[in-house]
């Protein structure tokens, strides 16, 4: 299970060419420093200051991560939880617009750039004929010394693999727009390793599909910066290092590639 020379690319602007290189697997990650300016970040942090806006993952309350919004991961493909997820999705864009008014939300910035760079634009992901939640605000809590262990994010783990949203998906990209980062800790760890379902099952450690770190090579560690946009293939193993004193907060979503002539789909 070795590493490959695929680079992490840093660009001034997120473009179709740089995005396609990531989709092809020619890049391990794409970094766009200063994607969001300091006035916007300051405004977003003020809007998110109230801790009551956040809650922990419904199916992983032991993980020291709080979110605004709901992820498909939390539904565990159960009917009642899926209905709750779709209700959150229906209200999410309006909720974010109100929360961050009069400035655009972090998700609006991501979606506008995607609409500009991709010929077919971007649209919310669809599941069972209903729109998926466009993203989440995710905060690693100050006492989170464990971070987030190695794992993979793949749509077919969260829905039936035969569902066309998963079966037609050609590439899945994780997107993080960093609103607040700690001075120490909180690095994004990336492995140029894609495990099959069978390989992952053999390496699971504990709960929540976390992978045994000791079975992996050394990762590439990226220290996010305030306002930076980082994109990477979420089917590659990745993790977040722990932190002790400060929050690590980002607007996050997945982007799904279904072909050159299809819209990019986004969801959480």
Report yes or no on 249 lying in a domain. Answer: yes
Tell me if 57 sits within 8 A of 67, measured CB to CB.
yes
Domain CATH for 57: 2.60.120.620
pLDDT value at position 5? 59
Report yes or no on 253 lying in a domain. Answer: yes
Report yes or no on 35 lying in a domain. Answer: yes
**Strands 148-151, 220-222: parallel, antiparallel or unpaired by DSSP?**
unpaired
What are the φ/ψ torsions at residue 183 (nearest 5 degrees)? -70, -30
Report yes or no on 128 lying in a domain. Answer: yes
Count the neighbouring beta carbons within 10 Å of the beta carbon of residue 212: 13
pLDDT over 90 at 2, yes or no: no
For residue 222, the enclosing domain spans 8-267
pLDDT tens string 197-214: 999 999 998 778 899 999
Question: C-alpha 190: how far from its chain's center?
Answer: 13
Number of domains in the chain: 1
Tell me if 114 sits within 8 A of 257, measured CB to CB.
no
Token pair, residue 102, equals 């009069």
Strand pairing partners for 148?
240
131 band by pLDDT with thresholds 50, 70 and 90: very high
Q: How far is CA 81 from CA 75, 88, 172, 245, in A?
A: 5, 11, 23, 33
Report yes or no on 3 lying in a domain. Answer: no
Strand pairing partners for 151?
238
pLDDT value at position 144? 67
pLDDT tens string 142-180: 766 778 999 999 999 999 878 999 999 999 999 999 999
Mean pLDDT across 93-111: 98
Report yes or no on 33 lying in a domain. Answer: yes
pLDDT value at position 146? 79
Classify residue 236 by burial, with Cβ atoms within 10 Å: 0-12, 13-18, 19+: buried
Mean pLDDT across 95-111: 98
**How much is the pTM?**
0.94
Report yes or no on 135 lying in a domain. Answer: yes
62 band by pLDDT with thresholds 50, 70 and 90: confident
Contacts of 27 by beta carbon, 8 Å cutoff, 6+ apart: 6, 7, 8, 9, 18, 21
Give the H/E segment covering residue 117: helix 106-117
Report yes or no on 260 lying in a domain. Answer: yes
Give the H/E segment covering residue 252: strand 248-257
What's the sign of the alpha-carbon dihedral 220, 226, 231, 236? Answer: positive
Rounded to 5°, the CA angle 77-152-206 comes to 80
pLDDT tens string 16-42: 999 999 999 999 999 999 999 999 999
């Amino acid at each position: 299970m070795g590493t490959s020379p695929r680079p992490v690319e840093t660009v001034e602007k997120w473009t179709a060419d740089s995005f396609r290189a990531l989709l092809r697997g020619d890049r391990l990650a794409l970094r766009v420093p200063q994607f969001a300016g300091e006035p916007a970040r300051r405004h977003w942090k003020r809007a998110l200051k109230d801790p009551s806006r956040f809650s922990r993952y419904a199916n992983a309350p032991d993980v020291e991560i709080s979110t605004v919004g709901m992820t498909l991961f939390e539904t565990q493909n159960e009917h009642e939880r899926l209905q709750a997820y779709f209700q959150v999705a229906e209200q999410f864009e309006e909720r974010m617009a109100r929360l961050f008014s009069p400035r655009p939300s972090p998700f609006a910035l991501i979606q506008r750039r995607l609409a500009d760079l991709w010929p077919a634009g971007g649209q919310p992901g669809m599941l069972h004929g209903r729109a998926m939640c466009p993203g989440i605000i995710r905060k690693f809590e100050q006492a989170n010394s464990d971070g987030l262990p190695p794992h993979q994010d793949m749509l077919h783990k969260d829905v039936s693999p035969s569902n066309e949203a998963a079966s037609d998906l050609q590439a899945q990209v994780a997107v993080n727009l960093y609103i607040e980062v700690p001075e120490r800790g909180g690095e994004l760890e990336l492995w140029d390793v894609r495990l099959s379902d069978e390989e992952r099952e053999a390496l699971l450690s504990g709960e929540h599909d976390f992978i045994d770190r000791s079975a992996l090579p050394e990762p590439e560690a990226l220290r996010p910066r305030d306002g930076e946009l980082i994109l990477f293939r979420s089917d590659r193993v990745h993790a977040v290092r722990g932190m002790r004193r400060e929050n690590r907060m980002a607007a996050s979503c997945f982007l799904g590639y279904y072909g050159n002539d299809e819209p990019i789909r986004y969801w959480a």
